Amino acid sequence: MRYFPIFIDTQELNCLVVGAGEVAARKIELLLKSEANITVVAPWVCGTVSQFAEQGLITVQNREFENADIEDRDIVFVATDDSELNKDIHRLATAKKILVNVVDNTPLCKFITPSIIDRSPIVIAISSGGVAPVLLRYLRQKLESYIPQKIALLGQFSEKFRETVKQKLSTVTSRRYFWEEVLDGTIAEQVLNGNSQKAEQMFAETLANHEQQKTHGEVYLVGAGPGDPDLLTFKALRLMQKADVVVYDRLVSKEVLELVRRDAEKIYVGKAKSQHTLPQQDINVLLADLATEGKRVVRLKGGDPFIFGRGGEEIETLVSRNVAFQVVPGITAATGAASYAGIPLTHRDHAQSVVFATGHLKDNTIDLDWPALVQKNQTIVFYMGITGLAIIRSKLIEHGMPKDMPIAMVQSATTDKQKVVTGNLDTIQELAESADIKPPSLIIIGTVVRLREKLNWFKTE
């Protein structure tokens, strides 16, 4: 993030604009939405800027720029058609540590002005760092259509009662829970419909009742999917935004973790093979303890919580402790990896069943029902099978699977780091070592793997 987004208090902010053409006028018009003191220096003034001056909104000095003009300024906009003058002002302002923006010349900008969606006191600013203005305009159009104009009423309502709530509710968590209840319910609807008197009455009753309520914690076992954040469910995202604490492991991508509520506590519990930051039993107890403290806890797990995610073990502890919980399914790694590798797990001409198996059992063995796995017209997906690949292939061959059975290994599925290696049982060990395949990876075995050459859509290099 090269440009850090920040909102500046414009009360008593002294702003200088050099230039007074139509380009400058657009910046001035934007600045007039703020409370800044605006001074314009230019030998020539366009009609729009002249009108602003006549209305007493800005101060205009009709002359050439002088070096002394930047004295006592907090922020400078430069919008002239003289490139050398623009550079000179940039150098002057930079030397004096004054924020300067040369319009339409990003290299000469110490700050850039974002695209703004104004629902004051709610203000949304978005930026592309000056590299994609058309995309930015497209996103703003989408947001403008999505965010109701009357959202400003909710902002004003929240501002009016912010101190009241702060005095009544002593903790940040209790205040947040209360405001979420207000904004998600009937009170907010009354505000948006203009029924302020009714909204205030309901608000007072809700606040009085909220003081008497004891906060009860809850655990949400959320499937984070195989890596691509676009594959999260709506419910998963909603609960991630509500969490007080997020307990996550190695298989949760950083892109998914970025979508968690910013001020939530994040606890990493590892879960790399044989290198657990916390043993599973300690994780189970941790979830219950956090919820017992009244916190909303998201247990964020790669893939799906109930498919080799130990979700069942975790909620057994929650049940024994009478802790409330919800389970949010996720796209399991098998379906994500297969789909993004262009390998359908079932196909009428190849496989009428699919089996998910683990290559790493609780006692560190791979003691599976091998005869049941070696069936015709069946696809097998092995989770956590990279370390035991040699055992897996030898056992399958020993129990009758042909050596030329197609096999694929998919690493970091659904992400931009995805890597796919295909071969057969006889060659895959050498191919995997040559390609340096590492966890997290899945193994897909079956004739459906042959379809990848035709159906691969995600990465075609």
For the chain, residues classed under CATH 3.40.1010.10 are 218-331
Query: Contact, 219 vs 300, CB < 8 A?
Result: no
For the chain, residues classed under CATH 1.10.8 are 151-212
- pLDDT per residue as tens digits for the range 409-424: 999 999 999 999 999 9
Q: What is the pLDDT of residue 270?
A: 81
Q: What is the pLDDT of residue 460?
A: 53
pLDDT bucket at 461, cuts 50 / 70 / 90: low
Query: Contact, 417 vs 434, CB < 8 A?
Result: no
Paired with 299 in beta bridges are: 221, 247
- pLDDT per residue as tens digits for the range 273-321: 545 568 999 999 999 999 999 899 999 999 999 999 899 999 999 999 9
Asked, as a colleague might, if the bond just before 226 is cis with ω within 30 of 0, I would say no
**Stretch 206-221: mean pLDDT, rounded?**
82
Close Cβ partners of 365 (under 8 Å, ≥ 6 residues apart) = none
* Binding site residue list for S-adenosyl-L-methionine: 226, 302-304, 307, 332-333, 384, 413
* Binding site residue list: 22-23, 43-44, 226, 302-304, 307, 332-333, 384, 413
Task: Tell me the CATH class for 151-212.
Answer: mainly alpha
Q: What is the pLDDT of residue 427?
A: 95
Q: Is the pLDDT of residue 96 over 70?
A: yes
Q: What is the pLDDT of residue 273?
A: 54
What percent of the chain has pLDDT above 70? 96
Higher pLDDT, 73 or 213: 73
Q: Does domain 14-113 have CATH number 3.40.50.720?
A: yes
pLDDT bucket at 401, cuts 50 / 70 / 90: very high
Q: Is the pLDDT of residue 64 over 60?
A: yes
* Binding site residue list for NAD(+): 22-23, 43-44
**Stretch 154-182: mean pLDDT, rounded?**
91
Q: Lowest-confidence range among 27-36, 98-107, 145-154? A: 145-154
Residue type for 377, please? Answer: N
Return the CATH number of the domain spanning residue range 218-331.
3.40.1010.10
For the chain, residues classed under CATH 3.30.950.10 are 334-455
CA distance 359 to 194: 60
Note the maximum CA span of the chain: 92
Of 249, 266, 362, 454, the active-site residue reads 249
**Stretch 52-78: mean pLDDT, rounded?**
96
Q: Is 232 left (phi over 0), alpha (psi -120 to 50) or beta?
A: beta
Question: Is 72 known to be catalytic?
Answer: no
Report CA dihedral (89, 93, 99, 105) to the nearest 10 degrees.
Answer: 30
pLDDT bucket at 361, cuts 50 / 70 / 90: low
Q: Is the pLDDT of residue 363 over 80?
A: no
Q: What is the pLDDT of residue 146?
A: 85
Q: Does domain 334-455 have CATH number 2.30.30.60?
A: no
Q: Is the pLDDT of residue 352 over 90?
A: yes
CA distance 58 to 40: 7
Q: What is the pLDDT of residue 272?
A: 57
Of 271, 282, 369, 438, the active-site residue reads 271
- pLDDT per residue as tens digits for the range 426-444: 999 999 999 999 988 999 9
Instruction: Give me the chain's average pLDDT, please.
Output: 92
**Stretch 61-87: mean pLDDT, rounded?**
95
Q: Is the pLDDT of residue 397 over 70?
A: yes
Whole-model pTM: value is 0.77
Q: Is the pLDDT of residue 366 over 60?
A: yes
pLDDT bucket at 85, cuts 50 / 70 / 90: very high
Question: Is 249 known to be catalytic?
Answer: yes
Q: What is the pLDDT of residue 27?
A: 94
For the chain, residues classed under CATH 3.40.50.720 are 14-113
Q: What is the pLDDT of residue 174?
A: 86
